[in-house]
Structure 1
Amino acid sequence: MRSDTVTKGVGQAPHRSLFNALGYTKEELERPLVGVVSSYNEIVPGHMNLDKITEAVKLGVSMAGGTPIMVPAIAVCDGIAMGHIGMKYSLVTRDLIADSTEALAMAHQFDALVMIPNCDKNVPGLLMAAARINVPTIFVSGGPMLAGHVKGQKRSLSSMFEAVGSYAAGTMTEEEVCEFENNVCPTCGSCSGMYTANSMNCLTEVLGMGLPGNGTIPAVFSERIRLAKHAGMQVMELVKRDIRPRDIMTEKAVLNALTVDMALGCSTNSMLHLPAIAHEIGMDFEIDFANGISAKTPNLCHLAPAGPTYMEDLNEAGGVSAVMNELNKKNLLHTDCMTVTGKTLGENISGCVNRNPEVIRPVDHPYSETGGLAVLKGNLAPDGSVVKRSAVVEEMLVHEGPARVFECEEDAIAAIRGGKIHSGDVVVIRYEGPKGGPGMREMLNPTSAIAGMGLGSTVALITDGRFSGASRGASIGHVSPEAAVGGPIALVEEGDRIRINIPELSLELDVSEEELALRKSRWQPKEPNVKTGYLARYASMVTSGNRGAILEIPKKN
């Protein structure tokens, strides 16, 4: 066993003495050592229940003959970090999580791992680490939050942000905002719509790294505890059969994840995280893949914020397995991919029934024939930009209007709430990318302000920052190259006409090449507003093309 390096032989007597200090017995050290990577903390609602998940996993590992050893992983709550400097730290934690977990696992020579994540950067960070470490590994998330209820309607965190915008617009009272505040987040768990955390937990299941139900069983259901025990038991089966993450997370599995992403209508942040995960397995993932897959993949789900259904509804309808089984009717998936069940994806989904065609549309009656995400290109985004097409109202799929230019999120929000943005405008927020922010903040606040002011179906927003899965409307993010490296978004001037055509996948600035070249010659780099500490180092490391904010790390063998 790998752990023999620290448990067997006279030369390892000092190591064993330290295990003795931890209270481990000789019998425990003769079993496989399983690192249980717990993201439990008391600041993230999606993680406050992970202590119970961790204990259930440990019990499952012990029942199956392993020795579970809990080690920690960090996580940030994007909602609490929103709208201030804290959001600059959110995306960068993905790489910190991957690095620190790799360090823990390699330093202590675990034979296997159980990853227990739940929220936005925590899930992809641990998937990246799993690919690097490549010992038998299984994931079990903490599960989604139940939807809240306000005035008889299901609600979620995005409703809360939009309520603040409505209050600023004078269409909601403080008492009504308070009612939202007290009811939209009623339980622990990752926020209840198809936001980034739930997107990545569902895609973990598609990648084959989580058991069926990993993405959708609500956090407060006892079924989630049972799932955790089974994950603990199953990792020992992976050890026995020597099934490792790189046997599971193959190029075909990544393409499956992108396909199901389109059907579910996942967060645009998946277009940051899937390339980073692919990078760890040596796959050259370009975001252009999205359009080819979207063209043949129907959008089957309109989960909040795109529609009125929530993760609990998806779970009751049959979950991710039912969605995959619908897609498989059109042979859109690579069903021969291995999974942590020890079976292929095709074997896992065989016979999974769609129990609610209103939540999961049948494949021959989709919301649209094309997928939930689109990558737009043009002279404003020569390397691409991403929009959640499934959350855009029909009248905004094609839009042209004057640019209203802002150098940061705060200035844009002040203008929106101050009534300075009007129907037809295109709000441009720049210098919010990985290098320019630094840290690539999420733009949920400005999109929510636009929606709250009643402008969601008439105003577009374009940024080199990123969008939350909770954002809706014509919100185009991840514009690359970013402003901080001289991308065309840095050259936009107030009043320039911008043309958006989502069906034709184009994003154009109505300015001649000669004029753009002249503006480029006059452009001066803008100093980042964070010049010291980890963020400054991060800004210096990200690639100029920010192909998903991936740090320049060598591909793994």
Structure 2
Amino acid sequence: MPEDKKLRSAEWFGRKGKDGFIYRAWMKNQGIPEYEFKNKPIIGICNTWSELTPCNAHFRDLAESVKRGVLEAGGFPVEFPVMSLGETLMKPTAMLYRNLASMDVEESIRANPLDGVVLLCGCDKTTPSLVMGACSVDLPTIVVSGGPMLTGRHRGASIGTSDIWRYHDDIRSGKIMDEELLTIEAAMCRSLGHCAVMGTASSMACMVESLGLSLPGNAAIPAADSRRKVLAQLSGLRVVDMVREDMKLSDILKREAFENAIRVNSAIGGSTNFVIHLLAIAGRIGVPLKLLDFDPLAANVPLLANIQPAGKYFMEDMFYAGGLPVVLKALDSLLHRDAMTVNGKTIAENYEKAECYNDDVLATLDKPFNSVPGLAILSGNVCEAGAVIKPSAASAHLMVHTGKAVVFENIDDYKARIDSDELEVDETSVLVLKNVGPKGYPGMPEVGNMGIPKKLLDKGITDMVRISDGRMSGTGFGTVVLHASPEAAAGGNFSAIQTGDLVTLNVPNRSLTVNLTETELAERKRNLKPGEPVATRGYVKLYIEHVEQAHLGADMDFLRGGSGSKVSKDSH
């Protein structure tokens, strides 16, 4: 730390008089001696542990490893809880609360005597919410992910979360009975950690490593592997030096870091949710990033990671093959090699010695696993501000497709009619689900990968074009267009599409259009009746009134940017 810069925590513990007395005395009731407060970096461990977030249920143990590192480096660790977002249990959707959790993180960091922060995150929304909140304060910060669970095993086969969608269709078609499903449940989630595939949680772990916010190798170490604890301890060790060097988030999160992350996400076949979260993080740290910036960066990056849902292997296999540093090294010619990372080295220095141990799991640019990129951004009169699709997880024969729309006005309409024998639909149809965007649901749930109508499943149809203003789980797959923006509830053209309209998806041309004139679209929108208010009080009302559209990251309009680390009022 520069000699003329004193520790932020000294504003609390270095005080004389009544205030200093109060700050120190009440901390001492935990048995902390006075010297712990003197000239030592106070490191906050921001913990999303919760038994209601099963992916993060091992974080109390992981926090102890972080503490050992902080103490070893001469810092003093203080663990504190923040709102934890469990993807599997929270209703109506964890995404509704991402911005609320980011507020909790931001205010908890700013209000307390912290010099640096370690973010413990794993389950999908815990990573972006913690990073967003920390960016708005901008202290020295390092991320420790919880790690993926071990690969599931059932009847001699490897299974993971992506298989849920296959099992769901098998149940609907009568191929699997409830008794077998109970066995599969236990076989799939057989260890600590988040999803074992390249779902959103793993994509977020890869995101923070490619942004430079974690130590090398963070993304793929399984939660049950002892090396996850070693990385946590080393992270605690490093963050103390970051405080002394005054290395803040804004020193790392430059435009080049974001561009690196976008290219990496395409190469790993990462979740489409990556887009909406990265946009929100950029908005907090003040880096200008637009939805349309993603496509030229991702378009020429083939799929290198043969990981489900786009491939056949699992995150555990990715770790054994060499982890994300191998992917980064393979992308060397496409990356900003001088981008700085939290360990004080450039990203190129971090992957320089990476070695691939299984090229069937992690391929190279000249011999990619799949030449199809992992992300494409679409434009057109269906989505004036854009939409996203994951070509690497879609069907090649549907990349250029025109079909008649089968429209579901909301999620209840979809559930009521999708398996009805009376539903007028065939394999050429385009399923359209409205009012599942940020405002419409509210919270933008992961329902975009609609199930195939039962009458088509019975014919052996396994994929068709599906479009929504909602999201899809990173574990999902299929020819699914997501994040159509502006959403139906915000009055976008998407709201005007009707059953029978001809919709054309052309991924090579990056277009999504409906065969209607601007005049026809405008007339239809004028005749739409406003819906009933979804909420009249509380956070949900605040969210609906202030959430931005998907192409802006679905953050709250008043949360963009940050207030820094200074406390506005300073007295007792």
Q: TM-score under structure 1 normalisation?
A: 0.95
Separation in structure 1 between the aligned mates of residue 216 and residue 358 of structure 2, nearest angstrom: 18
Separation in structure 2 between the aligned mates of residue 403 and residue 490 of structure 1, nearest angstrom: 13
RMSD of aligned residue pairs (Cα, Å): 1.9
CA contact (8 A) 1:40 1:49 kept: yes
CA shift, 1:453, in A, is: 6.4
CA contact (8 A) 1:161 1:445 kept: no
What is aligned with 2:4?
none
CA contact (8 A) 2:299 2:376 kept: no
Separation in structure 2 between the aligned mates of residue 192 and residue 449 of structure 1, nearest angstrom: 28
The structure 1 residue matched to 2:470, chosen from 458, 465, 473, is 465
CA shift, 1:295, in A, is: 2.3
What is aligned with 1:22?
30
In the alignment, structure 1 segments of 5+ residues that lack a partner are none
Per-residue deviation, residues 259-294 of structure 1 (Å, max 9, x unmatched): 101101110001110011111121121111111012
Matched, 1:8 2:9: no
What is aligned with 2:381?
379
What is aligned with 1:275?
279
Residues 33-42 or 97-106, more deviating? 97-106
The SS at the match of 2:513 is strand
Q: How many residues align?
A: 550
What is aligned with 2:350?
348
- Pairs within 5 Å for 1:157-168: 157-168=161-172
What is aligned with 2:334?
332
Matched, 1:68 2:77: yes
CA contact (8 A) 1:482 1:546 kept: no
Give the partner amino acid of 1:13.
F
- Pairs within 5 Å for 1:1-400: 1-11=7-17, 12-30=20-38, 31-81=40-90, 86-88=91-93, 90-328=94-332, 331-400=333-402
Give the partner amino acid of 1:55.
E
Q: 1:156 to 1:528 in 2, by over 3 A?
A: farther
Separation in structure 2 between the aligned mates of residue 263 and residue 149 of structure 1, nearest angstrom: 26
CA shift, 1:548, in A, is: 1.9
CA contact (8 A) 1:193 1:470 kept: yes
Residues 5-14 or 427-436, more deviating? 5-14
Give the partner amino acid of 1:217.
I
Residues 403-412 or 245-254, more deviating? 403-412
Q: 1:545 to 1:344 in 2, by over 3 A?
A: closer
Give the partner amino acid of 2:21.
A
Q: 1:198 to 1:528 in 2, by over 3 A?
A: farther
CA contact (8 A) 2:438 2:550 kept: no
The SS at the match of 1:508 is strand
Give the partner amino acid of 1:33.
I
The structure 1 residue matched to 2:415, chosen from 413, 437, 442, is 413
The SS at the match of 1:87 is coil
Separation in structure 2 between the aligned mates of residue 134 and residue 513 of structure 1, nearest angstrom: 45
In the alignment, structure 2 segments of 5+ residues that lack a partner are 1-6, 565-572
The SS at the match of 1:383 is strand
Separation in structure 1 between the aligned mates of residue 89 and residue 560 of structure 2, nearest angstrom: 33
Separation in structure 1 between the aligned mates of residue 28 and residue 458 of structure 2, nearest angstrom: 62
Separation in structure 1 between the aligned mates of residue 508 and residue 477 of structure 2, nearest angstrom: 17
The structure 2 residue matched to 1:432, chosen from 404, 421, 436, is 436
Identity of aligned residues (%): 35
Residues 367-376 or 59-68, more deviating? 367-376
Separation in structure 2 between the aligned mates of residue 449 and residue 110 of structure 1, nearest angstrom: 53
CA contact (8 A) 1:161 1:448 kept: no
Give the partner amino acid of 1:536.
K
CA shift, 1:225, in A, is: 0.8
CA shift, 1:376, in A, is: 0.8
Q: 1:221 to 1:456 in 2, by over 3 A?
A: farther
CA contact (8 A) 2:106 2:133 kept: yes
The SS at the match of 1:356 is coil
Per-residue deviation, residues 361-414 of structure 1 (Å, max 9, x unmatched): 111011344520111111101110011111002112122211111122243234
Per-residue deviation, residues 331-363 of structure 1 (Å, max 9, x unmatched): 211111111111111110102112211111111
Give the partner amino acid of 1:166.
D
Q: 1:445 to 1:521 in 2, by over 3 A?
A: closer
Per-residue deviation, residues 76-102 of structure 1 (Å, max 9, x unmatched): 222233xxxx134x1132212221111
CA contact (8 A) 1:431 1:484 kept: yes
The structure 1 residue matched to 2:482, chosen from 477, 481, 504, is 477
CA shift, 1:230, in A, is: 0.7
Q: TM-score under structure 2 normalisation?
A: 0.92
CA contact (8 A) 2:448 2:467 kept: no
Residues 384-393 or 422-431, more deviating? 422-431
Residues 441-450 or 342-351, more deviating? 441-450
The SS at the match of 2:136 is helix
Per-residue deviation, residues 286-338 of structure 1 (Å, max 9, x unmatched): 1111110122222212321122111011111111110000000xx21111111
CA contact (8 A) 1:376 1:502 kept: yes
Separation in structure 1 between the aligned mates of residue 275 and residue 120 of structure 2, nearest angstrom: 22
CA contact (8 A) 2:448 2:480 kept: no
Per-residue deviation, residues 188-223 of structure 1 (Å, max 9, x unmatched): 111111111110011101111111121100000011
Give the partner amino acid of 2:335.
L
Give the partner amino acid of 1:392.
A
CA shift, 1:555, in A, is: 2.6
Q: 1:143 to 1:452 in 2, by over 3 A?
A: farther
Q: 1:34 to 1:265 in 2, by over 3 A?
A: same
CA contact (8 A) 1:465 1:478 kept: yes
Q: 1:398 to 1:455 in 2, by over 3 A?
A: farther
Separation in structure 1 between the aligned mates of residue 233 and residue 453 of structure 2, nearest angstrom: 43
Give the partner amino acid of 1:19.
M
Q: 1:531 to 1:514 in 2, by over 3 A?
A: same
